[in-house]
Each structure stands twice: as C-alpha cells, then as structure tokens.
Amino acid sequence: METFIYILIGIVSAVFTFSVGYSVIGVVKGNRRQQQLEDRIFQLELDLGNINQDINDRIDDVELRLDSDMRQSEKELQSLLDSRLDRLETRIKNMIPPTNDELLERIKKIEEESYRLRMNM
C-alpha cells in the first residue's frame, strides 16, 4: 500500500509539474504576444500621426491655392466691374443735359467768338 501511495504521489507531482511548466510557457508566450501587440500599436500610432500630418499639410496646400485663386478671381471681377461701371457712368453722363453753368459758359464762348469774328471782318 505504501508503494501505491508513492506511485500516486509521483503521478500527482508529475501532473502538477507538467501543469506548472505548461502554465509558465503559456505566460511567457502571452507576455511575448502582448509585447508584440504593444509594439504594433505603437507603430500604428506613429503611422497614424504621420498620415494625419500629411493630410493636414495637403489641406493647408489646398486652402492656400483656393485662397490665391479666390483673390485672383476677386481682382479680375473687381477690374471687370470697374470698367463696366466706368462705361456706364460715361453713357449716363452723356445722356444728362448740360447744366445752366455749362450752358452759360458755352453761350459766353459763342459770344466771344462772334465778337472776334465781327472785329475781324
């Protein structure tokens, strides 16, 4: 019976030792896998930061180009509008009859020319 107990204790201790060894291997593999995942997450965060920076740079470039294009378009539009307004102003001024002061100046000029003409004759 004593032998049986020794055999049973040997089997239990072997199973216990095997279980502890298997658990230690599992923990080591788990730690290694965890470290790999942490390294991968860190690398992905770096890549994400680089991509984010690249997107921000592209957005800034597009904003600068759009701003430049808008300013150029605004200048062209303002120039076109100014020229059109000048033409319209000229047409409107030509449509307005002369004022009294202008008429008086014209009459005075005509009188002077008439007087000169008479003096020369």
26: tokens are 């599992």
Domain that holds residue 73: 2-120
65: tokens are 């180009």
Residue 70: per-residue pLDDT: 95
- Please give the Cα distance from 17 to 33 (Å, whole number): 24
User: How many domains is the chain partitioned into structurally?
Assistant: 1
- The pLDDT tens digits of the residues spanning 7-24 come to 989 889 999 898 888 888
Q: Are 98 and 106 in contact (CB under 8 A)?
A: yes
- Please give the Cα distance from 69 to 62 (Å, whole number): 10
The residue among 120, 97, 119, 101 whose CA lies nearest residue 109 is: 101
78: tokens are 């303002």
> Looking at the whole model, is its pTM more than 0.85?
no
16: tokens are 């216990």
Q: Which of 50-54, 95-99, 110-114 has the highest mean pLDDT?
A: 50-54
Give the CA dihedral 42, 43, 46, 47, nearest 10 degrees. Answer: -140
- Please give the Cα distance from 17 to 44 (Å, whole number): 40
For residue 100, pLDDT beyond 80: no
